[in-house]
Structure formats: C-alpha cells, structure tokens
Amino acid sequence: MKANFKVYLFLLPALLYVLLFSMYPLIYNVYLSLQDVTFTTFIQGTAQYTGLENYRALLDNPTFQRTFTNTLIFTFLSIFFQFLIGFLLSLLFNRSFPLKGILQSLIMVPWVLPIIVSGSFCRWFFSDKGMFNGFLLFLGIIARPIPWITSGHLPIYSVTLANIWLGIPFNFVLLYTGLRGIPLEFFESAEIDGASGYQKIRYVILPLLKPVMIATLTLGSIFTVKVFDLVWIITMGGPAGVSHLFSTFSYFLAFSRFDFGQASGVLVIMLIIVVALTAILNLSRAEEV
C-alpha cells in the first residue's frame, strides 16, 4: 500500500500538469462555446447560457461555411503532397549519389527558418510583383500578373502551396529515418528473388514502413488542421475572409468581433475534426497490430 502511494505521488506532477494545462482550457473552451460571451458580458460577468446557439449561428454563417471548405482543401492537399513528396525524397536519398549531404541539408531549410521569415517570403513570392509572377511572365506563360493572394478564389491555394513547401522536410525526416531502419537483409532477399524496384516498394518498404507512415500522417494531420501563423502572415484570412482556416477565423471572431462564444465554438469543431482524423489513423495502426 505504501509502495503504491509513492507511485501515485510521483505521478502527481504530471497529473496536475495535464489537468491545469490540457483539461481545464479544453473544458473552459467548451463552456464558453455554450455562452453568449462578448467583450461586455465577459468583463461584467453577465454571459448567458445559450446552449447550441453559437453553433447554429456558425453553421448559418457563409464565412464559416467557406472556412470549413478551406480547411478541408488546405488539410487534404497539404497532407497528400507533403507525404508524397517526402516519401519520394526518402526513396531517392536512400541511395548514394554525389552531393547527397549538401542536398539533404538544403531540403531542411524551410523547416529550420523562423515562421515569420518563411511566411514573409511566401507573401512576397505570391504577391502581384513577386517572384512567382515574375518567373511566369519571363517564361511567357502569363501575359499579366495573377493576384495569387488578393483574388477571390486563389489565396487558399497559395497558402496551401506555402504550407506544402514548409511541411515536406518534416515528412522527409520521419520517412527517411524509418526507411533507414529497415534491415538490409530484406532488400538483399528481394534482389535474390529478382524483385524489381516497384516490387521492393510494394512488398518490402510499404509493409515495413507502415507504422512510421501512419505516425507521420497522424502528426501531419494535427499540425495542418491547426496551422495559424503561416496563413495569418500571408493573407490574414483575407481578402474578405476567403482564405480563413478554423484557427484564423476563430482568432478573427475573438479579437476583431469580440465574440468569444462563437470563437470557442469554432475551436471545438476543429478539435472534433482533429480527434476524428487521429482516431481513424490510429484505427489503421491497431488493425495492423
């Protein structure tokens, strides 16, 4: 009994940390989403319980509907291309070739740069007089600059491209590390059996790399759905809210409209999506085990 008490005593700091910095903010956020919390009612402490009214108002809000679609586009395209390019790069760098170390370091550049630098560069890159338009004009592909971040429908794709560029190194590192962990005996046996390059990927790499791939997709999904700083630096959710994600729209509602109730509702919906994505991916891993 005394030994068990000591075990629980050692767990107490971790338990307090989880309760204070994870559970309490989460529960309080759900509580706010069920209240009519504005700047005035928050200061005066007169916020009224409104049930699911904030969620109904969000579902009827055209900007939220656009935000929901934007988040789906942003998340799906980001995860798909980050993972695909990261996987192809890991296959390439699993071979030996000249300047491998230098090129490997260059791939990591977007990841090691501060986000304010990466975001500012992307904002200039996609601007009307930026590098992207200049390159397309030089090649004669376009006749005049395209408003990549100031039009009504292109900004979400521009910020998605920027996020793909930033996320490739993360996917590459995890997949490359997992690939290097596969014993060489499996590849040697496949070569003795006359397996082609495609067959090695299909029957050796993909099955053995599956746990790492699921972990990469899980972490990538969590990081992507909650992206805020990159989008805020490039477009601030604009113009006219056409490039909002859940995170930026929640910030806009809270600190521009001072509607903390609806802002909390957006975060609750975002949390539900993250948990659902994580559960689906973990289910795949559980079936594998």
Kindly state the DSSP code that residue 49 receives in the 8-state scheme: B
Can you tell me whether residue 15 is helix, strand or coil?
Answer: helix
- Integer Cα distance of 34 and 51 in angstroms: 5
Q: Is the pLDDT of residue 165 over 80?
A: yes
- Say which residue the tokens 């948990």 belong to: 275
pLDDT at residue number 244 = 94
Q: Is the pLDDT of residue 148 over 90?
A: yes
pTM of the predicted protein model: 0.87
> What are the pLDDT digits (tens) for 38-70?
888 888 888 889 889 999 999 999 999 999 999
Can you tell me whether residue 6 is helix, strand or coil?
Answer: helix
- Say which residue the tokens 């994505």 belong to: 277
Q: Is the pLDDT of residue 289 over 60?
A: no
Tokens of 74: 């942003």
Q: Is the pLDDT of residue 160 over 90?
A: yes
> What are the pLDDT digits (tens) for 193-202?
888 888 889 9
> What are the pLDDT digits (tens) for 205-263?
999 999 999 999 989 988 898 899 999 999 998 888 899 999 999 999 999 989 999 99
Q: What is the DSSP string of 162-220?
A: HHHHHHHHHHHHHHHHHHHTS-HHHHHHHHHTT--HHHHIIIIIHHHHHHHHHHHHHHH
Residue 209: how many CB atoms within 10 A of its CB? 20
Tell me the three-class secondary structure of 224-236, residue by residue: HHCCCHHHHHHCC
> What are the pLDDT digits (tens) for 84-130?
999 999 999 988 888 888 998 899 888 888 999 999 999 999 999 89
Q: Is the pLDDT of residue 152 over 90?
A: no
pLDDT at residue number 161 = 95
pLDDT at residue number 61 = 94
Residue 224: how many CB atoms within 10 A of its CB? 23
Cβ–Cβ < 8 Å for 266, 246? yes
pLDDT at residue number 193 = 85
pLDDT at residue number 274 = 86
Least confident interval from 2-16, 34-48, 63-77, 128-142: 2-16
pLDDT at residue number 2 = 62
